[in-house]
Structure 1
């Protein structure tokens, strides 16, 4: 291996090995914490199927992540140890040979799978939150189209001839980044908008209370969880526009693991009791309606019902 590496090679090497390893370690910690929250909920017969599905889904994301990491490590060995004879040779070898081999294609495939799993669950979450409204289908049309466009572009990028012109490669790469960023920002904005609308209805019906703050807490949770992923994608977009290949390679190599971390942050915080499910707004509406009755027995029923509901509903009932 050459004793001197170019800036592109330095950032490429450290991102594919050290940085991705540390990031996956963070993701693994979040995964273990989430599993600890999954297990107690298996005792609830009404939640068992949903919890098992989320466990399988989250495990699939983690398995794809570790396989992606292993393949990236193999590519590092192939490019930096076996075939790096001079500074700059690694970049050309990766571009022309490594990604065209079965291992390189498999690495790209698992990267696409991570994109599909993490972005797909965001669209599903959007459907859950808007599912009770009459315009739910209209809301998810654009994110769904962008999602399938992203998958098609990813497949096109894998099949792209390495000898293609720089302009063509740049156009496909920029379209990929823009599609991903649009899905992340647009879906998160729609979810937060829905939470704020429901919060306003709650305040207009029952007045400002501690329960109204819960909606802001959920919105803040989503913003915090996806802020890292969105910021990472924006940094990648800026580095591509500025034609800074070393920095762009760094952000692109770590992007799949960042997506896993953002997904696990939401899963962990939702199963910690700070999330939103399909029944939350229906339960709140039911409690608001029943709160208008003045009998003591009805009030007792409301408090009893709230004791078995989510934290949002519980606060609404006691207020």
Structure 2
């Protein structure tokens, strides 16, 4: 008995009960993540569709297609996972070893195969999307250096796709818990790709943050290079969550079951958060550096000449012509200096 003080406890040992708990809790946690995914998808789709114009039609259609694909894959994955959990805990409750054994062994079940395919294919799309964001953020350093820097992520992405295909072929006949080496190889490669790209993106954004703060002041880092922006742009949430799954899984701890069922939704949420920033104009774009870093280090503010204004006094008929001008002056960031020059009827002027 797992708990002798509980007369209604199941007739399984504590290890089996714990394994079943992790599978069930992981499924419940994935439902929460899917709710966030659904909300973000609707928000992104609405904003992108509303902003679609002839001038940006290609980019908007690309983003709309991308979010529709990853959301569809995530939805099918959730449906298949829910059915598989139902089979394990209800329809095949008396499977030898219980529901946890069923979930670990029956990966060749057609329902779970659908979930696995959606999981892996969605992972490929979102890994490729992260590499694309990496290229966008680094594009201002020059085509040659961008090409050199993307060699490693692209090679790792191709390797991840090859390992993913092998993983799907092998799990269709066995289980990832049986062939742990192949499972670890695929997830380690995918995780390594995300961590490397994440670190490179974080490093680049921190450099931008320092430059913006030094040139324009700390208040100007709030949009593109604050902590939240850096974490979202780099998809750090997925990398952290993948580690939470991979470490227990590699150690053979059932705690990994909780995060295994949620990691797909977390990766989708990470991608949708980036696209939401793109849709709202807050994400780092190819021309962002040019826009906010023009004339770095300059403290001069240049204003155009204002229209002449006539001032009249109530006690005299004398009228004065006043001209507001701005001169190039070295100023503190955020300050504007305006010179007020007045011309009287006698030809004299005062400033």
- Structure 1 residues 236 and 210: CA distance shift in structure 2, 3 A: same
CA displacement, residues 254-308 of structure 1 (integer Å, 9 cap, x when unaligned): 11111111111222233223211112123345x428x79987559xxxxxxxxxx
Q: CA offset at residue 87 of structure 1?
A: 6.5
Paired with 1:170 and 1:157, the residues of 2 have a C-alpha distance of 10
Question: In the TM superposition, what is the alpha-carbon distance from 1:70 to its structure 2 partner?
Answer: 0.9
**Runs in 1 of length 4+ with deviation above 6 angstroms?**
291-295, 316-319
Choose from 115, 118, 124 the match for 2:126.
Answer: 118
In the aligned structure 2, how far is the partner of 1:210 from the partner of 1:87? Answer: 62
The correspondence for 2:228, drawn from 199, 220, 224, is 220
- Partner Cα distance (1:31, 1:318) in 2: 42
| Residue 39 of structure 2 corresponds to residue 29 of structure 1 | yes
CA contact (8 A) 1:232 1:251 kept: yes
- Separation of aligned partners in 2, 1:94 and 1:214: 45
1:67-86 matches, within 5 Å, as 67-85=76-94
Does the 8 A contact of 1:6 with 1:88 survive in 2? no
Q: Which runs of 5+ in 2 are unaligned?
A: 1-8, 306-332, 337-351
Aligned partner of 1:66 in structure 2 is 75
Q: d(CA) in 2 for partners of 1:296 and 1:157? A: 63
Q: Distance in 2 between matches of 1:109 and 1:164?
A: 14
Shift of 1:68: 0.6
Which of structures 1 and 2 has the bigger CA Rg?
Answer: 2
Pick 1 or 2: higher relative contact order, CA cutoff 8 A, min separation 6. Answer: 1
Deviation, 1:201, is 4.7
Q: Could you tell me which residue of structure 2 aligns to residue 312 of structure 1?
A: none
Conserved? CA contact 1:9–1:88, under 8 Å: no
TM-fit CA distance, 1:108: 0.8
Counterpart in the other structure of 1:156: 166
The structure where strand makes up a greater share of residues is 2
2:309 corresponds to which residue?
none
Q: Does residue 295 of structure 2 align to residue 288 of structure 1? A: yes
What's the TM-score once normalised by structure 1's chain length?
0.79
Residues 9-63 of structure 1 show CA distances to partners (whole Å, capped at 9, x for unaligned) of 22213323x22222111111111222232233214x3223212211111111111
- Does 2:143 correspond to 1:136? no
CA distance in 2, matches of 1:264, 1:203: 28
- Name the SS of the counterpart of 1:273 in structure 2: coil
Unaligned runs of 5+ in 1: 299-315
Residue of 15, 19, 34 corresponding to 1:8: 19
Equivalent residues of 2:208, 2:225 under 8 A apart = no
8 A contact 1:65–1:257 mirrored in 2: yes
Equivalent residue for 1:234?
Answer: 243
